[in-house]
Amino acid sequence: MFIAFVKNNSLVQFVRAYVRSMRLYYSFVTGIAGWIGVSYYQFIADPKYFNPLSEFMPTVEISTPDIKKMEILVFLFLGWGINQIINDYLGLEEDRINAPERPMVTGELHPQKALAVSITLLFITLIVTWLYLEPIAIIPLLLGVGLNILYEYAKGRGIWGNIVFGIMIASCGLYGFWASGPIETYFTRSRISALIFIAIINGLMTYYTYFKDEKGDRMAGKRTIVVKYGLERNRYIAIFAGFLPSIIFMIGYFGLKAFEIELNKIFIILGILTVFLQIWTGYLYFRNPKGEMTYYSLVTNFRACTCGQATIIALINPELGMMLFLFCYIFVGFLFNLYTKVKA
Name the pLDDT band for 55 (thresholds 50, 70, 90). low
Give the C-alpha separation, 315 to 328, whole Å. Answer: 17
**Residue 247 covered by a domain:** yes
User: Looking at residues 123-128, what average pLDDT do you find?
Assistant: 94
pLDDT tens across 194-235, in order? 999 999 999 999 999 999 888 888 887 888 999 999 999 999
Is 11 part of any domain?
A: no
Q: Examine the pLDDT at 165 and tell me if it is beyond 90.
A: yes
Q: Provide the number of structural domains found in the chain.
A: 1
- Rounded Cα gap, residues 281 and 71, in angstroms: 33
Domain that holds residue 154: 16-336
For residue 8, tell me if it sits in a domain: no
Burial annotation 237-254 (CB, 10 A radius, 16+ → b, else e): bbbebbebbbebbeebbe
User: Does 138 fall in a domain?
Assistant: yes
What predicted TM-score, i.e. pTM, was given to this entire model? 0.89
Q: 157: which strand partners? A: 223
Nearest C-alpha neighbor of 241 from the set 192, 288, 277: 277
Residue 3 lies in a domain: no
